[in-house]
Amino acid sequence: MKTPIILVVDIGSSSTRAIFFDSAAQSIPGAVAQIPISFTTTVDGGATIDAPTLFSRIVDSIDLLLKNHPSEAKRVAGVASDSFVGNLLGVDKNYQPLTPVYTYADTRNAQDVKIIRQDLGEEGATAAHQRTATMLHTSYAPARLKWIARTKPEVFAKVAHWITFGEYFLWRLFGKTGTSLSAASWNGLLNFRTLSLDSEWLSYLGMTESQFSPLTDLDQPFSGLKTPWGERWEELKSVPWFPTIGDGAAANIGSGCDNPDRIALTLGTTGAMRVVLNPADMRQIPGGLWCYRVERNRALLGGATTEGGNFFAWMKRTLQLPPPEQTEKELSNLIPGSHGLSILPFIQGERAPGWNEDAKVNIQGITLNTKPMEILQAGLESIAYRFAIIYRKISEHLPVSKTRQIVVGGGSMLSSQAWTQIFADVLEEPLITLLEKENTSRGAALLALEKLGLIKKTSDLQAETGKTFQPNPKNSALHRSAIDHQAELYKKIYPASSG
């Protein structure tokens, strides 16, 4: 263990955790306190959480960590935090909640996405994408605010400020708040160029800047915990508390992907591909992709998918497959595309790059001779093909490099070497497996260490990696034509989408 120590508060969708990291960005063994949380879901698409309850869970986790590790607590040099993003909370003038925290998973505003798209038209939607680097989607604030104003006008009228949970968290501790550029960009109201709230969105929504918190960044930490927190956590009273950032941004940094040569690919239940760039290099936002901020001088270009391990799990449940070890062995020996199938894997609608929420799974080419293993192979390939499309769009904005690498993580990806090899062949780049277990929290710790001057830059401390999967040129050539077939199928079924 190297001192000083960073305390990271990781606010996830299934738990909140307080973790100690040393000055080498290594998590201290056993120094973690985890408290389960859950969203309240409804049959009509609601997904919310109570702000005071979530705050209490965070307090409990910090209490537990400090109690169980008193010697480390005395050496804390700063507190960093990351959170699930795309959340919104309405409060009164005293920052008392008037609404639950609406999360990224709440889709009750789907109709409002369509209303906004009709109001703006294709040209207006494209212009909004270029200004804010986010799409028209249920997870972003424009559609969320329009839905609340339409369905809950009396509540909407009472709200003095619309904030993220990270802001509420800091307000409870310090009596003041600010939203990080990272969190603001993830809500879809931040102008990517000016780093101010987008005036055209505010005008469309009939809102003003005063209804939102001041924008801040990681070089503007908070300090001086108010009563009773300063007395409760004396070790943390005077140290810097950095503004809450998006969990995706933290995960990229924690994976060692903090420059254009290292791209992060995460595949769990769903998937995402992201790369950190200089914002000045983003003169045009690629169609269908988003570009958030890690902080003022770091942009995060990429795309997320709703399909990933969820489609793999569905195929495992549905197809009569052999045992896992035999499945892996057979997958490894199959010739790409030999099944004659073309699949669109949209088991929960589509995000990047077409953003068609009504998209469904489509399988073309099934015959009486089609075997379950062939459907599985085609399904796993089809997800890799969607990432190939995202990667092509990302690559157009990357400098030419002979050392480019893709760092892969996530339970679904790392659970199947055969699938990882498929991805390497499809993307035609080396894939390095990520062994770092705490990459999101580690990323928040790295950024705090950098801002405190304890390291020069985040890449000084590399993440732990494992096996590298090299692309097979023969397989890559076969996959290229299959990607084209999938694209043709997409255009036939969804001609109005941009994928």
- pLDDT in the model for residue 357: 87
Calculate the CA 193 to chain-centre distance: 21
Name the pLDDT band for 3 (thresholds 50, 70, 90): confident
Residues 183/83, Cβ–Cβ less than 8 Å? yes
- pLDDT in the model for residue 186: 97
Give the closest residue to 176 by CA, choosing from 154, 161, 192. Answer: 161
Which residues, other chains included, contact 430 with Cβ-Cβ below 8 Å and sequence gap of 6+? 405, 406, 424, 468, 469, 470, 471
Residue 289 phi, psi (nearest 5): -110, 165
Residues 40/201, Cβ–Cβ less than 8 Å? no
- pLDDT in the model for residue 141: 98
pLDDT over 60 (residue 226) = yes
Query: What domain range is 76 assigned to?
Result: 5-243
CA distances from 245 to 165, 188, 249 (A): 11, 15, 7
Same domain assignment for residues 192 and 294: no
Name the pLDDT band for 497 (thresholds 50, 70, 90): confident
User: Angle formed by the axes of helices 473-493 and 372-395, to 10°?
Assistant: 90
Same domain assignment for residues 238 and 259: no
pLDDT over 70 (residue 406) = yes
Residues 132/189, Cβ–Cβ less than 8 Å? yes
Residues 47/41, Cβ–Cβ less than 8 Å? yes
- State mean pLDDT over 258-271: 96
Give the per-residue SS3 of the chain: CCCCEEEEEEECCCEEEEEEECCCCCEEEEEEEEEECCCEECCCCCEEECHHHHHHHHHHHHHHHHHHCHHHHCCEEEEEEEECCCCEEEECCCCCECCCEECCCCCCCHHHHHHHHHHHHHHHHHHHHHHHCCCCCCCCHHHHHHHHHHHCHHHHHHCCEEECHHHHHHHHHHCCCCEEHHHHHHCCCECCCCCCECHHHHHHHCCCHHHECCEECCCCCECCCCCCHHHHCHHHCCCCECCCEEHHHHHHHHCCCCCCCEEEEEECCCEEEEEEECHHHCCCCCCCCEEEEEECCEEEEEEEECCCHHHHHHHHHHCCCCCHHHHHHHHHHCCCCCCCCEEEECECECCCCCCCCCCCEEEECCCCCCCHHHHHHHHHHHHHHHHHHHHHHHHCCCCCCCCCEEEEECHHHHCCHHHHHHHHHHHCCCEEEECCCCHHHHHHHHHHHHHCCCCCCHHHCCCCEEEEECCCHHHHHHHHHHHHHHHHHHHHHCCCCCC
Same domain assignment for residues 109 and 67: yes
Amino acid identity, position 14: S
**Per this entry, what is the length of the chain?**
499
Tens-place pLDDT, residues 4-18? 999 999 999 999 999
Last-in-domain residue among 190, 217, 243: 243
Does any domain span residue 262? yes
Same domain assignment for residues 290 and 177: no
- pLDDT in the model for residue 499: 40
**Domains in the chain, number:** 2
- State mean pLDDT over 72-81: 97
Tens-place pLDDT, residues 248-258? 999 999 999 99
Does any domain span residue 327? yes
Same domain assignment for residues 43 and 109: yes
Q: Lowest mean pLDDT of 312-321, 345-354, 397-406, 467-476, name the range.
A: 397-406
- pLDDT in the model for residue 496: 80
Residue bearing tokens 């810097």: 240
Computed over its alpha carbons, how large is the radius of gyration of the chain?
23
Residues 147/137, Cβ–Cβ less than 8 Å? no
Does any domain span residue 248? no
395 sits in the region (left: phi over 0; alpha: psi -120 to 50; else beta) called alpha
Tens-place pLDDT, residues 293-339? 999 999 999 999 999 999 999 999 999 899 999 999 999 999 999 99
Same domain assignment for residues 234 and 302: no
Same domain assignment for residues 56 and 84: yes
b/e per residue 83-113 (b: at least 16 CB within 10 A): bbbbbbbbbeeebebebbbbbbbbbbbbebb
pLDDT over 50 (residue 43) = yes
Give the closest residue to 109 by CA, choosing from 23, 229, 205. Answer: 205
Same domain assignment for residues 371 and 393: yes
pLDDT over 70 (residue 196) = yes
Last-in-domain residue among 223, 243, 263: 243
- pLDDT in the model for residue 209: 97
Q: Lowest mean pLDDT of 78-82, 184-188, 233-237, 347-351, name the range.
A: 347-351
Decide: pTM greater than 0.85: yes
- State mean pLDDT over 19-35: 97
The two three-digit tokens of residue 78, written as one number: 């700063």
Same domain assignment for residues 288 and 333: yes
Last-in-domain residue among 243, 267, 301: 243
Same domain assignment for residues 73 and 183: yes
Name the pLDDT band for 355 (thresholds 50, 70, 90): very high
Percentage with pLDDT > 70 across the chain: 100
- pLDDT in the model for residue 255: 97
Same domain assignment for residues 343 and 309: yes
Give the closest residue to 184 by CA, choosing from 159, 163, 170. Answer: 163
CA–CA distance, 41 with 147 (Å, rounded to integer): 17
Same domain assignment for residues 381 and 323: yes
pLDDT over 80 (residue 239) = yes
Does any domain span residue 249? no
CA–CA distance, 40 with 46 (Å, rounded to integer): 7
- pLDDT in the model for residue 498: 46
Q: What is the CATH number of the domain that holds 188?
A: 3.30.420.40
pLDDT over 80 (residue 1) = no
CA–CA distance, 19 with 79 (Å, rounded to integer): 10
